Amino acid sequence: MGYSFDFSIIGDNLGLFINGALVTIRLSLIAIAFGLVIGIVGAVCRTSGNRLLNWLAISYVEAIRNTPFLIQLFFIFFGLPNLGLKLTAEQAATLALAVNFGAYSTEIVRAGVESIHKGQVEAGLALGFKSISVFRHIVLTPALANIYPALVGQIILAVLFTSVVSQIAAEDLTFAGDYLNARTFRSFEIYFTIALIYLAIVWLIKGLAYAVEKKYFEFAKYRR
């Protein structure tokens, strides 16, 4: 039996897809921003030389990287209310994404920090720079330049991970597709369109990432 394609369902519900895409982008931006802060703090702990801080950072990274994201999401949304912390679906999704991205970015940033020669740090201190200035200008900025491609790759994965948050009824792009599919049963048209939208979002991220690299990390290629 042949299948009759009908993409008019997409045009008739375009607003639903746009709203879902905007939620996906909002979740991604907030989670990545907080996750990157977590990653930088985690990397500082990993490279601090303090055994306790290093152990805490390692425990966090291992716990997150070795458990499924879906389980982490369910734990935050369904488990934390038993401890008195009740979150909305979108809040739980944002927190889960940030915690997950933070664990992976911790190791990425740590690798970047460790790529900076200790002699550069010692030279900065010898010239009278404060420790925070040395970390910001001599360590962190070149480190981010070194690991920028890996970090962008992880950002893209974090955006794609948002498709899982529909499981707790966070109204992202995938949730919009599931909702429409349950009403119309036009699975091919709906999920084909969703795949194209995710592809467009990823291309947008890559374009922005390239622009940022050209503006802020162009110097890195001369150091390699």
DSSP 178-191: HHHHHHH--HHHHH
Domain residues for the domain of 99 are: 18-173
Mind listing the pLDDT tens digit of every residue in the chain (224 residues)? 577 888 889 999 999 999 999 999 999 999 999 999 999 999 989 988 889 999 999 999 999 999 999 999 999 999 999 999 999 999 999 999 999 999 999 999 998 888 777 766 667 667 666 767 766 667 777 777 888 889 999 999 999 999 999 999 899 999 999 999 999 899 999 999 999 999 999 999 999 998 988 887 765 554 55
Per the domain annotation, does 58 fall within a domain? yes
Per the domain annotation, does 184 fall within a domain? no
Per the domain annotation, does 62 fall within a domain? yes
Per the domain annotation, does 139 fall within a domain? yes
What is the pTM assigned to this prediction?
0.87
Per the domain annotation, does 65 fall within a domain? yes
Per the domain annotation, does 208 fall within a domain? no
Say how far apart CA 5 and CA 82 lie, in whole Å. 47
User: Which domain CATH number covers 74?
Assistant: 1.10.3720.10
Estimate to the nearest angstrom the gap between the alpha carbon of 100 and the chain centroid: 8
Please choose, from the candidates 199, 176, 193, the residue with its C-alpha nearest in 3D space to the C-alpha of residue 7: 193
Per the domain annotation, does 11 fall within a domain? no
Burial class of 70 by CB neighbour count within 10 A (0 to 12, 13 to 18, 19+)? middle
Secondary structure of residue 51 in the 3-state scheme: helix
Q: How many domains does the chain have?
A: 1
Say how far apart CA 198 and CA 195 lie, in whole Å. 5
For the segment 175-190, what is each residue's pLDDT rounded down to a tens digit? Answer: 999 999 999 899 999 9
Per the domain annotation, does 10 fall within a domain? no
Say how far apart CA 86 and CA 100 lie, in whole Å. 19
